[in-house]
Amino acid sequence: MQLPVRFGKYELQEFLGGGMSHVYRALDTVIGRQVAVKILTGDAARDVEAKERFLHEARISGTIQHDHIVTIHDYGEEEGFPYIVMEFLRGGDLRDAIRNGQAGDLLNRLRIAAETASALEFCHQRGIIHRDIKPENIFLEQSGRSKIMDFGISKAAGFNLTKAGNTMGTPYYMSPEQVMGVNITPQVDVYSYGIVLYELFTGERLVSGDSMERLFYVILNENPDPLKLQSAGAPKALADLVVKCAAKKPEERFQGFGAVRQALASVITEVRDGVAPRPGPSGAANTTTKKPAPAIKLGPIMAAGLCALLLGGAGLWFLLNKDKVKPGPTPPGNTGPAPTLAAKGGNMNLVPAGEFLFGSSRSPVKLPAFYMDVTEVGNRAYREFATASGHALPDAFAADAPSLPVTNVSFTDAKEFCTWAGKRLPDEREWEKAARGADGRNYPWGNDGRSAMANVSAKGPAPVDSFETGASPYKLLHMTGNVWEWIDHPHTPSAQAIESFGKMLTPKPTANEPWHYIKGGAYDRTLAEGVVYEWSSVPGRFTSPTIGFRCAQDLPESK
């Protein structure tokens, strides 16, 4: 057909691909939103079973709302053609990322694994079995966030579209139960997930063959090789996890994705703290390179020892014997760090030491205490800095709006302000703990997606001291919405990110220049994009009217 063309209230603008159904980038003409419209073809629409399966996908997908599952906005039938309307995503699927070597480093691939496990656990809790987990059905947005899609052959409790004995799924990722056509339980997703992980970390398919008989033989009889996973850079704990997921007998696998996520969290912590080997440039293990960490990122025992040295020998004895000592009165003048700190460039609140649940996998991480700015840095404070230091003001600086957040600042601009104020930019874990507290919540105020709690889907930024009802557990404002905030997190960007920013920057960015995260979402984004554990990858020289920052500061005794 000649595009653009109207299809109900949707204007189909670009053909994206398809087989039995065609997918288009489209415009919802009622609310002006870009969407993806999936339309069953005429031949498929005349097939009763194909049509029922298509509508089944719409009904199942429409009941699922999760950060790592593609969102369904609408579905129905127009002039005899069933259709599904989904969020429009930019990026590519995991198949292309693996094939092109763009799945990222070990930590990035572990993040994809954790996000996928979280989404599947969510489905299983609602009685939904996907039954077709494969790299093509895991989409990677340009930001790097993963989303499961295509619930066309999923099975909900009380609903079975296939007859007993039929095999449904993609042969390379089918479980033994699917091959045999019996006992379809949530464990089939655990198996397929394990096979996908094997491919994600080795770059090779586990199951291959030149005939269906050969494929089925491999599925029923051959196991993943943990040594091959380890030679590709996977730590032993991760190799063991993959092997257990892909066990032939359902009862020998992890019993649900809650257990998978817990095991992954341990692996992620191990890798992040530099214990496990990381893949080198060619994918081989590099056992000599560990992730650099700031000096204050000490393990629990070392941190305790350092504090003891600062406090003296008596302090060390107390830390080692604190469970045997009954608390006494607090000595005069020793009340601990102040909950608030009047500081140059903006007041700060204390984020106490201790463990919190980090990332989409909610991995337990311990941090020392630190201070964080109560608000994003505003125009008033930035002007003071520029006047005192001779630093140039950013483009389109709103001198007449001193209470609005400063924007159009690069990572270097933000870092220089923090240095001037005697502070520094937060790292990823510090920012996230300050935003979500210790209990792993999705937003600063909790897990409920109330848009009124944050400045999102708006026309412009709000004053930095507004939206107090949406404050974090440490009374920090605008950690979801208003403006993105720079994070001191140098990393290697994805190929998709480089390509995307190549359209906005001159000269075009490369993987070798500094890249950092921004977190928290912005006023022009939806609330879902402000989930506190999400991030976007941005060149350090990039500036935008939607990017600002806030500062952190060590406690005096941590210096």
Residue 132 annotated in active site: yes
Q: Which helix (H) or strand (E) covers residue 95, if one does?
A: helix 94-99
Q: Residues 476, 437: contact at Cβ < 8 Å? A: no
The domain of 530 spans 340-558
pLDDT reported for residue 236: 94
Residues 82 and 100 in one domain: no
pLDDT reported for residue 371: 97
Rounded Cα distance between 104 and 544, Å, is 26
pLDDT tens for each residue of 297-312:
333 333 333 233 223 3
User: Residue 64's closest CA among 13, 129, 160?
Assistant: 129
Residues 272 and 318 in one domain: no
Q: How many CB atoms lie within 10 A of CB 153?
A: 18
Q: Quick check: helix, strand or coil at residue 275?
A: coil
pLDDT reported for residue 403: 95
Rounded Cα distance between 316 and 461, Å, is 49
Better-predicted residue by pLDDT, 512 or 325: 512
Rounded Cα distance between 329 and 452, Å, is 44
Q: How many CB atoms lie within 10 A of CB 465?
A: 13
pLDDT tens for each residue of 490-505:
988 888 789 889 989 9
pLDDT reported for residue 557: 59
Residues 282 and 312 in one domain: no
pLDDT tens for each residue of 202-233:
999 988 777 778 888 888 888 889 999 999 99
Hey, which residues does 25 pair with through a beta bridge?
Answer: 14, 36
Q: How many CB atoms lie within 10 A of CB 277?
A: 20
Bridging pattern class, strands 72-78 and 81-87 = antiparallel
pLDDT reported for residue 335: 62
Residue 76: pLDDT band (50, 70, 90) is confident
pTM over 0.75: no
Checking if the pLDDT of 445 tops 70, the result is yes
Residues 374 and 260 in one domain: no
Rounded Cα distance between 48 and 55, Å, is 11
Q: Residues 444, 476: contact at Cβ < 8 Å? A: yes
| Average pLDDT score over the chain | 83
pLDDT tens for each residue of 132-179:
899 999 999 877 889 998 875 454 433 333 333 334 445 789 899 888
Q: Give the dihedral sign, CA 366/368/374/379.
A: negative
Residues 487 and 502 in one domain: yes
Residue 37 backbone phi and psi in degrees, to 5: -115, 120
Domain boundary among 36, 58, 87: 87
Domain count of the chain? 4
Residues 496 and 393 in one domain: yes
Q: Residues 83, 76: contact at Cβ < 8 Å? A: yes
What's the token pair of residue 523?
């006023």
pLDDT reported for residue 494: 83
pLDDT reported for residue 252: 95
User: Residue 256's closest CA among 176, 174, 186?
Assistant: 186
* Those residues with Cβ within 8 angstroms of residue 532's Cβ, 6 or more apart along the chain or in another chain: 432, 435, 436, 441, 442, 443, 444, 479, 480, 519, 520
Residues 190 and 296 in one domain: no
Checking if the pLDDT of 323 tops 60, the result is no
Q: Residues 95, 86: contact at Cβ < 8 Å? A: no
Rounded Cα distance between 424 and 552, Å, is 5
Better-predicted residue by pLDDT, 182 or 540: 540
Residues 229 and 138 in one domain: yes
Rounded Cα distance between 499 and 509, Å, is 8
From the candidates 28, 67, 132, 150, which is the catalytic residue? 132
Residues 188 and 320 in one domain: no
pLDDT tens for each residue of 514-544:
999 999 999 998 888 889 988 999 999 999 9
Residue tagged 């063959």 (tokens): 209
Averaged pLDDT, 181-210: 90
Angle between helices 236-245 and 187-202 (to 10 degrees): 140
Residues 239 and 306 in one domain: no
Domain boundary among 60, 87, 114: 87
Residues 347 and 330 in one domain: no
User: Residue 56's closest CA among 135, 128, 8, 147?
Assistant: 128
Kindly report the CATH number assigned to the domain that includes residue 112.
Answer: 1.10.510.10
